[in-house]
Amino acid sequence: MFESLGRRIADHPRSAIVTWAVITVLGFSLAVFGVHGESLFSRLTSGAPVIPGSQNDEGLAILEEINPSAENISLIVDGASPSDPGVAEVMAGVHAELVSIEGVESVLDPIIVPAGPESDVGKMFTAQDGDGFLVVVGIEAGLPDDVEAAAVDDVTATLRTAATDLTAQDPEVSGLVGGNSLILDAITSQVERDLTTGEAIALPIALLIMVAVFGGFLAAAMPMAGAFASIGTGLGALLAMSYVMTIDASIVNVVTLLGLGLSIDYGLLIVSRFREELLRQNASATENREKRRRSRDDAQVAQALVTTMGTAGRTVAFSALTVAISTAGLMVFTPEVLRAIGAAGLIIILVAVATALTLVPALLRLAGKRLVRPDILSTVPGLRVVLRHSSAVDKDEGFFSRLASRVQRHPAWVAGACVVVLLVLAAPVLGLQMRNSGIELLPTSSPQRQFVVALSEQYPATAAPEIRVLVEGDQAAAQTFADAVAGIDGVEAVTAPVAIDDYATFGVDIPSGDPGGEQALEVVSAIRDLDPSSPFWVIGQAAGQLDFTDALADRVWWAVAIVVLATFVLLFLMTGSVVIPIKALLTNAISLAASLGVLVWVFQEGHLSSLLGFTSTGGIETFVVALVIAFAFGLAMDYEVFLLSRIKELHDAGVDSETAVRVGLQRTGRIITSAAAIIIVVFAGFVFGQLLIIKQVGFALAVAIFIDATIVRMLLVPATMTLLGKWNWWAPAPLRRLHERIGITH
């Protein structure tokens, strides 16, 4: 099948290139300009993950039905008391302008309320230090989307103008405008900026690494072309997906990371094998000059492409299948954000493997033997020596074979040392805390985060309690329940219940003031363990976190079983062994644990926070853990397949196990380490973004790939395969016969 695809592309390379060019341009255009003026970024959402049917989700839905929430846009003025000269005059004009805006329902501040700033209500809207005040503008609930959006824009503009006017009177005065819609805009805008930042850092460095790998710009450009096509097509596909399911803002960067990394991985393998086949044909033609005279370069290039597709192409397709399986495991879970990431990941994997198997080969076909001729860089004296060694593809002896030989002298010691190092790195994962952060995702320099912090510090009367409880029944029943809640350890205060239709709600304050911390989680669990006479719902960040972790725990073993079983079957079909799949699963598991341990040490415990530019929230974002496990496992299996395919190829040719491991590592080590270096750069590029969740994902995956490509792939795998020897390829007789019939071989 793959040879046939190679022949088809060899016959019609320009058709494949033109088709991908059209698809890529269309994908980018749709993502940026959208349909009916709605771009991909305008359709993104943000917020805590929703668990359908959970207590937190049901409680919020009931509240929204009986008391629909309305958008509020607020202005925090700092440096001016409401009674300062000139403030009332400026605000009088602002009030008049605000109430004239269509959709504005209310305007509240300490100046406009009855009895003024000295009243109880006025003090609520006056800063704690007396040197500022708050303006809250309420938008009518239930407005059409376009009317509400226009009202928000007009109110925001008016409040920002008011802040400017107050600053003009006194340069010491400043103002911050904030609200839920503005926070969402800030997060989605940050996603766009982080995407640009990550690509601006990653792509040039990735190109330089590939120039070193291939010895020139032409060969290096091939995987990059596949990466660009994958990103453009993937973004367009995400826009289409947004009409079917909710797309969280962070998914865009995650999918871009995956598409970029996989496209470069697969492109590297295809290009490297193609150059290897061309060099092999050149060597054969040199031995037989008569044959060389009769052969056309064009025919040699076509044959090299067909051979490449039958070997590396098959490996790429198999690798993509293993990554797809681990990513598909996310779709087993209940949270929509995980299902969306799983679906988006599957799409981008399909796109990446499609570009690697069609676009990259088509470009190789047109480039032909120019890929193995000296590049202009080889004329530079200093670079010539470096490129000659870094881009060599035709040697069975070199750095990686020598490394394997050293490992094979003391395999037990090397394997033991690797396991000890990985376990030490994994230790912090035992203290893992998961969180559903909101505004904390934005950097401390973000105006919206500064707005929320100022609101909670200076206007505590307007802040929501850390935990809310909704009770079905009258106010008296709710009060009885509230009294019971007040007796729970860790509860600082309980607000008086407020009746809403057939329900009542009250707030619960805790000493820590952290709505997603360990204390809040313990209090929520304790409240849920109570047994009142009426149905009740506990709502808030901690409640959502508990619901999310419960949802993960409920389905995690299904996901693990599916991924483990499918991976085992695929590796068995590839190798004919039951030992290699078990070993691969165990080594990947300990490698993942080590990666998560480093993630916890850095982001939860706060180490390297100043270097990486973040403020620790005391935990790891809830869906980051599941996402990192799925993607890191898939990418690790990617490199496992790259290495095993060459070792198996040598073993099938009659080479003994130790030699097969040594030569297989030499032939793939350069590709694995180069691909890993590039993908680490890609992921690390997004660490330099500002959105916390993207920092965590980028860092965790970069660390996971580094650990896998160095400790695991270069040391632990050769050591364990040397220890096992011929037992690497063992399988029970019935399974050996099954593999002979249905096994996947070159």
In terms of Cα–Cα distance, which of 265, 385, 240, 392 is closest to 316? 265
Query: And the tokens for 657?
Result: 């196990």
Position 697 scores a pLDDT of 86
The domain locations on the chain are: 1-39+215-391, 71-184, 399-443+554-746, 444-545
In terms of Cα–Cα distance, which of 190, 217, 196 is closest to 206? 217
What number of helices (H) and strands (E) belong to the chain?
28, 11
Degrees (nearest 5) of the Cα angle 157, 161, 163?
A: 120
CATH class of the structural domain 444-545: alpha beta
The 3-state DSSP class for residue 411 equals helix
Q: Where residue 392 falls among pLDDT bands split at 50, 70, 90? A: very low
Residue type at position 626 = A
Q: Across-strand partners of 504?
A: 471, 499
Please give the residue that has the higher pLDDT: either 411 or 668: 411
Percent of the chain with pLDDT over 70: 93
Sheet harboring 104-108: ordered strands across? Answer: 104-108, 132-139, 72-78, 174-179
Position 47 scores a pLDDT of 63
Q: Where residue 523 falls among pLDDT bands split at 50, 70, 90? A: very high
Name the CA dihedral angle for 628, 631, 635, 641, rounded to a multiple of 10 degrees. Answer: 130
Give the Cβ contact number of residue 122 at 10 Å: 21
Rounded Cα gap, residues 124 and 117, in angstroms: 9
User: How confident is the model over 89-109, as a mean pLDDT?
Assistant: 90
Place of tokens 């492109």: 267
Position 737 scores a pLDDT of 85
Position 19 scores a pLDDT of 93
DSSP 37-86: TB-TGGG-B-SSPP-TTSHHHHHHHHHHHHS----EEEEEEES--TTSTT
Q: What is the pLDDT of residues 463-509, one digit of tens each?
A: 778 899 999 988 888 899 999 999 999 899 899 998 888 899 999 99
Place of tokens 């097969």: 660
| pTM value surpassing 0.85 | no
**Domain 1-39+215-391 annotated CATH 1.20.1640:** yes
Query: What CATH number belongs to 399-443+554-746?
Result: 1.20.1640.10
Q: Determine whether 293 is exposed, middle or buried from the number of CB atoms within 10 Å of its CB (0-12, 13-18, 19+).
A: exposed
Cβ atoms 321, 393 nearer than 8 A:
no
Q: Where residue 387 falls among pLDDT bands split at 50, 70, 90? A: very low
Asked if residue 287 has pLDDT above 60, the reply is: no
DSSP 323-368: HHHHHHGGGGSS-HHHHHHHHHHHHHHHHHHHIIIIIHHHHHHHHG
Domains 399-443+554-746 and 444-545 fall in the same CATH topology: no
Position 112 scores a pLDDT of 85
71-184 has which fold? Alpha-Beta Plaits (3.30.70)
Position 65 scores a pLDDT of 83
User: How confident is the model over 515-542, as a mean pLDDT?
Assistant: 89
